[in-house]
Amino acid sequence: MAPNAFLARITGVIARIDETQQEAIDTAATWVADAIAADHHAFLFGAGHSFLAVMDTYPRIGSFPGWVPIHELSTSYMPGVLGNQGLRQVLYLERVEGFGRLVMENYRLSEEDVMVVISNSGVNPMGVDVALVAREHGLKTVCVTSRAHSLAGTPRHSSGQRLLEACDLVIDTCVPAGDTLVDVPGFGRVASASTIGACVVMQALVAATAELLAGRGHRTPVFPSHNAGMAADEQEAAERMVDDWFAEHARRTAGLTR
């Protein structure tokens, strides 16, 4: 059997992230660590499939309080292709200029916070709106996108900006234009890479941020793996850590919305 084409090509995408994006990831990690250490926030936003990278960052095993995912249900939950909460609605809403601004009105933002916006194409108005609102409030802004895909598209925001042009820092997922990696003759191009690329970038950012915080002596609960087999005392310790994690998240986010 021939080697799996997708596995070979996604490995190449991850290798290019490693080779070319270390400096940008380290810069973003410094900004996020500064915010979290100062009791501020690292906001996360993504619409459509880009929301999966937000959810994969926080909350989940190995995550720690300080991150604030913006869960806009109408652009991040697609229970069916058609019908209620269908894909058509999501694709429409992320193209509506002003909707991102409306979402951001729910949050009290500080110039000591950080905003991370994830979008493979970076051309739709919603993500650009979120980034522009954050910059207007003085936040440092990070864009996680495919440069190749974004530059191949036409920005839909009235400012004429793509997301990568609206943010202070760009981390490239190194995904090729078009997103898919495998061309199957007689069938078409299949197997998209953008979600995997964005998740790899975000977990690299999480790890680099944790290393910086640890180096400064900053301690915070980390959500443990609590379903794996372990001794009774280890299970009790994991459950205490989970309780501490919830309490710290609640403390940090108290009064965050308005």
pLDDT, tens digit, 9 for 90 and up, residues 93-143: 899 999 999 999 999 999 999 999 999 999 999 999 999 999 999 999 999
Mean pLDDT of 168-190: 96
Of 201, 199, 223, give the one whose Cα is nearest residue 51.
Answer: 199
pLDDT confidence tier of residue 242, bands split at 50, 70 and 90: very high
Tell me what pLDDT residue 226 has. Answer: 72
Query: Which own/partner contact pairs does 151-160 have at CB distance under 8 Å and 24+ positions apart?
Result: 151/177, 152/177, 152/178, 153/121, 153/122, 153/123, 154/123, 155/123, 155/128, 156/95, 156/97, 156/123, 156/124, 156/125, 157/97, 157/123, 157/124, 157/125, 157/128, 157/129, 158/97, 158/125, 159/128, 159/132
> Cα(17)–Cα(21) distance, rounded to whole angstroms?
5
Tell me the pLDDT of the chain averaged across its residues. Answer: 94
Encode pLDDT of 44-95 as tens digits.
Answer: 999 989 999 999 999 999 999 999 999 888 888 877 788 887 888 888 889 9
> pTM here?
0.94
Tell me what pLDDT residue 83 has. Answer: 84
Tell me what pLDDT residue 160 has. Answer: 95
CA 134 centroid distance within chain: 15
CA 34 centroid distance within chain: 18
Task: Determine what percent of the chain is predicted with pLDDT higher than 90.
Answer: 83
> Cα(256)–Cα(258) distance, rounded to whole angstroms?
7
Beta pairing, strands 140-145 & 114-118: parallel
* CATH level 3 topology of 5-221: Rossmann fold (3.40.50)
Q: Is the pLDDT of residue 38 over 90?
A: yes
Cβ neighbours of 108 (radius 10 Å): 11
CA distances from 19 to 14, 16, 24, 247 (A): 9, 5, 11, 38
Using DSSP's 3-state secondary structure scheme, residue 224 falls into: coil
| Cβ 28 vs Cβ 142: under 8 Å | yes
C-alpha dihedral sign at 116, 212, 225, 199: positive
Of 208, 198, 206, give the one whose Cα is nearest residue 10.
Answer: 198
Of 152, 188, 192, give the one whose Cα is nearest residue 10.
Answer: 192
Mean pLDDT of 207-211: 98
Mean pLDDT of 225-229: 75
Tell me what pLDDT residue 246 has. Answer: 95
Tell me what pLDDT residue 220 has. Answer: 95
